[in-house]
Structure 1
Amino acid sequence: MTHILAIDQGTTSSRAILFSADLKIVATAQEEFAQHFPDSGWVEHDLEDIWATVARTCREVVETAGIDAGDISAIGITNQRETTAVWDRRTGAPVHRAIVWQDRRTAAFCREMAAHEAEVTARTGLLMDPYFSGTKLRWILENVDGARADAEAGHLLFGTIDSYLIWRLTRGRAHVTDATNACRTMLYNIHAGAWDDHVCGLLDVPMGMLPEVRDCASEFGTTDLLGPEIPILGVAGDQQAATIGQACFEPGMMKSTYGTGCFALLNTGEAPVASTNRLLTTVAYQLDGVPTYALEGSIFIAGAVVQWLRDGLGIIGSAAETQALAEAADPAQRLYLVPAFTGLGAPHWDPDARGAIFGLTRGSGPAEFARAALESVGYQTRDLLDAMRADMGGLGDTVLRVDGGMSASDWSMQFLSDILGAPVDRPEVLETTALGAAWLAGMRAGVCPDMDGFAEDWALERRFEPEMAEADREDRYAGWSDAVGRTLTR
């Protein structure tokens, strides 16, 4: 058995990536699925769509590679985090569409619970925000006919997308998750390493619905999806999987992933750091029963702002066009686009903020909009890095490792380095999320190197160094900070 299959279940598509034992990509399959927006600020996924696209891409990637399923040593899973699934253990049928991490329907409830935020944060490392799974789960129990009664009778199960996929892959034999997904639910005590009965009580969540929590590299069951039984040996939420794939194993190492949103994680070692700047304290990974912690900053809109240029404004036909437009933009114009389409994440945490653009002139056109959109991602990352520096009392000579679709844009990465005033390293392998899941599974299966060997194999494709003058950098960032301040509702 010489291959590892990584399932990368994301916000807009499902992918299957087949790796060789030396963690080289052999084949890839991808399929998008529908996004549902039943009300303002609501985002849902059909769980059957997710399952169907995962199953089809897994079969397709094996066929494309021309291998036998018996050649696969193990499966690793990485997934969109916080997205909330509830299904009936008796039938496997979902009781409601999955409520996606971007969904803001529980914002009013979170405001009502504001007095409890300090105790929730102390236990879970998270803030009282609609982003996390706990209030989404409560909404389903309160709003789906019969759901609470069925849950209290032990008939319903809750899980993040990894749990739901494992349930389907194992034909209902395993209701499990890993520590990195559990810690994003707002129901998990990151210090005790267990579900928190006090927080579950605050949210009125029956603890019998919750999956068993395991290490990131562990036994998660076996699946016959491809014919022979194949073990599922690695699981991590997408941002933690990218942290692993970027080999950020030492305290002080930092990565930022640019997908639909942007998520920056800073490894803080075996001791959790409580943020005073409204960052999240989270589990970066857990191996051999020992958690490694991180500070995380979450930006809700990164690559999605480019999708908006394409699908909302219609000024581009593909994401690749933004670089040429940005380069052609009038340098005398300084537009600030605050992409608060679904509120603002860290460090502001304002679910009611909405997008705005400042600095428009009669000469502003598609090029200036494209540049402002790309720059917004760099500015938001600077917000996160400044908050991390404050929490850590400085970070020394910070180097940011980047990945995700947007990191392929040289223009965007150069601006990122300029506005951060720090080097930005882009690896040879940009599929770091799937790579992290594959390494977890392959390492557990004994076919991939240990942590030290894996870290040694990390390879740099290009380093971007700051070229912008410090005075210009700070002037531009001050303009951004002013623009954000004008959009905040809190």
Structure 2
Amino acid sequence: MTAILAIDQGTSGTKAVVVDAEDGIVALAEEPLRPAYLSGGGVEQDPRALLDSVLDAGRRAVREAGRPVAAVALANQGETVLAWDRTTGAPLSTALVWQDRRAESVCAELAEHRERCAARTGLVLDPYFSAPKMAWLRRHLTRDGVVTTTDTWLVHHLTGQFVTDASTASRSLLLDLDKVAWDDELLALFGLEGEPLPRIAACDEIVGTTRAFGPEVPVAGLIVDQQAALVAEGCLTPGTAKCTYGTGAFLLANTGPDPVRSSAGLTTSVAWRAAGETPYCVDGQVYTVASAVRWLQDLGLVGSATGLDAAAAADAEGVLCVPAFAGLAAPWWAPGATASFTGLTLSTRREHLVLAVLQGIAAQIAELCARVAADLGHPPTRLRADGGLTRSAALMQAQADIAQVPVDVYPHAHATPLGAAALARCALDPALTLEEAVGDWQPATVHHPRWSADRAAEFRTAWAQAATASAAEGERA
């Protein structure tokens, strides 16, 4: 039996699981984190808190498991960056979280290069990605040390190495997507020429060893969090798709070996690099999902996320919500968009607002499914779903109704670390295929559409009009 310590270092917390090929998850430890939300669109984290959370959660999980682990795997936030000293490992800045919008000025300066960036990287020129934040950090915080995504810094503390993985690198706006290599022209474009960048490793590669969690073991299975979930949910063939419902929502669809450039406002990234192959994926993002639910909690409209279904009406009675509390991502890319409710009357009650928020989340994801269909030539026939909010039957049913596809709810709350663990297992045993490492799984629940196709189309048309108005209002602001 081969146990793997798999760590998911996320935005609102770090999760560590010890997973055994025979016994499944045998231990779980979590450490909460609270990003600082600043005026002007800043979102920051304390790097030392990130590192401490990785070490503390990992050590607790290993103790709870009561068995040795054969490797450590690490999934990361993807686009969160910091400056740090390569000699001492000390952070030289806060960590700018993927949600941070302060690099909008950098993107505005480079607006004429949007098409060039998209063609080279598969991404949209937006502060969401790493390079604009790296450039902003260099201008406003420090010129010292190196500036990288947080995975490189964490792995350096574990192993002493200076690496990132191919999937994380593809989220930077600095990677030539076809070559899977850093691009000097892009570095120059962002004013980052001369910056030392980490070596790009395969996701099934042993990148070093660590004693941070006990006896010395290999570190492998490095991957960005959303692609890790794509692996765990078995989306290993072109056209398969999953959506993770966390702080934000992230829909990814496997495109196989072809790095499709989206014509529909989505982005293209490396899905993973393993067994000498590099499949790609298209993806779309919804910035506020669990954070929209927290907004409902803060207003006292729901007691907790677990109380969503009890608080939601059976019908929203014509109320529509565009939950753009932090702007709209794909396919609008309207950072200035703000949230809106329409269709309110004197008969509108709390429960209508709660359902309208859930339907607004589902409508954004349904729009992403339609854009995936435009890029791949056919829509996903099913949507696999993971993340904490899949516990809300009201949200999952709204998703099935509005997108008009069955929604298969992943049976574990830990898809991201399980995907990283599967890649680490492949690193330890190169004869093992990724399909074998992932294994088979059955949905905990399947939500089938109850709405007619006509009702879904009518809703989506009305909602899309409200979203377009929100995006246009944001541009005028």
Q: TM-score range by the shorter chain?
A: over 0.9
Report the Cα distance in structure 2 between the residues aligned to 1:467 and 1:89, rounded to whole angstroms.
56
Which of 459, 462, 467 is the equivalent residue of 1:479? 462
Aligned to 2:223: 236
Gaps of 5+ in 1: 151-155
Q: Distance in 1 between matches of 2:177 and 2:276?
A: 13
Unpaired stretches in structure 2, ≥5 consecutive residues:
none
Q: Which amino acid aligns with 1:59?
A: R
In structure 2, give the amino acid aligned to 1:60. Answer: R
Offset of 1:51 from its aligned partner?
0.6
Indicate conservation of the 8 Å contact 1:2/1:73, yes or no.
yes
Q: Quote the residue 2:53 is aligned against.
A: 53
> Amino acid of the residue matched to residue 11 of structure 1?
T
Judged with a 3 Å threshold, the aligned counterparts in structure 2 of structure 1 residues 361 and 78 are, in CA distance, closer, same or farther, namely same
Superposition CA RMSD, Å: 1.7
Q: Cα 1:50–1:400, aligned 2, differ >3 Å: closer, same or farther?
A: same
Deviation, 1:455, is 5.2
Distance 1:488 1:105, change over 3 A: same
1:175 maps to 2:162: yes
Query: What residue in structure 2 maps to residue 139 of structure 1?
Result: 136
| Distance apart, 1:456 and its partner CA | 4.7
1:317 pairs with 2:303: yes
SS in 2 for 1:19: strand
- Equivalent residue letter for 1:163: T
For 1:119, give the aligned amino acid: R
Question: Can you list the C-alpha shifts for 1:416-471, whole angstroms capped at 9, x where unaligned?
Answer: 11111111112323421111011111221129952232455232322221110122
Deviations 1:94-137 (A, max 9, x none): 12110000111111221221110111111111111010010100
1:159 aligns with 2:145: no
* Greater Cα shift, 34-43 or 123-132: 34-43
Deviation at 1:308, TM superposition (A): 1.3
Equivalent residue for 2:446? 463
Give the deviation of 1:301 after TM superposition: 1.1
Q: Deviations over 1:352-390 (max 9, x none)?
A: 111122122223232112111111121011110111111
Please tell me whether residue 374 in structure 1 is matched to residue 358 in structure 2. yes
Partner AA of 1:162 in structure 2 = D
Q: CA deviation at 1:207?
A: 4.3
Secondary structure (helix, strand or coil) at the match of 2:120 reads helix
Q: Report the CA distance between 1:314 and its aligned residue.
A: 2.5
Equivalent residues in 2 for 1:125-136 (5 A)? 125-136=122-133
- Check 1:18–1:41 CA distance in 2 against 1; reply closer, same or farther (3 A cut): same
Q: Could you tell me which residue of structure 1 aligns to residue 201 of structure 2?
A: 214
Structure 2 partner of 1:37: 37
Amino acid at match of 2:6: A
Hey, what does 2:92 align to over in structure 1? 95
Contact 1:104 1:342 in 2 (8 A): no
Please state if 1:385 is matched with 2:369.
Answer: yes
Shift of 1:347: 0.3
How far apart, in 1, do the equivalents of 2:105 and 2:195 lie?
26
Instruction: Give, in angstroms, the shift of residue 139 of structure 1.
Output: 0.8
Q: Residue type matched to 2:326 in 1?
A: T
Which of residues 317, 326, 330 in structure 2 aligns to 1:346? Answer: 330
Is 2:173 the counterpart of 1:186?
A: yes
With normalisation by structure 1, the TM-score equals 0.93
1:275 counterpart SS class: coil
Aligned to 1:27, the other structure's residue is in SS state strand
CA offset digits 1:7-40 (Å, max 9, x no partner): 1111010111111123611111111123212323
Q: Is residue 319–residue 344 contact of structure 2 (8 Å, CA) maintained in 1?
A: yes
Task: Provide the rounded CA distance (Å) in 1 between the counterparts of 2:354 and 2:212.
Answer: 43
Specify the SS of the correspondent of 1:163: helix
Q: Which residue of 2 aligns with 1:362?
A: 346
1:25 aligns with 25
Residue deviations 1:148-203 (CA, integer Å, cap 9, x gap): 3x3xxxxx222222111101112xx2010100100001111111111010010000
**Distance across 2 between alignment mates of 1:320 and 1:220:** 40
TM-aligned CA distance change 1:108 to 1:192, over 3 Å: same
CA distance in structure 2 between the partners assigned to 1:484 and 1:128 by the alignment: 21
Contact 2:176 2:183 in 1 (8 A): yes
Q: Map of 1:324-335 to 2, 5 A cutoff?
A: 324-326=310-312, 328=313, 331=315, 333-335=317-319
1:294 to 278, 281, 285: 281
Count of aligned positions: 473
Residue matched to 2:406: 423
Q: TM-score, normalised by structure 2?
A: 0.95
The residue type equivalent to 1:392 in the other structure is L
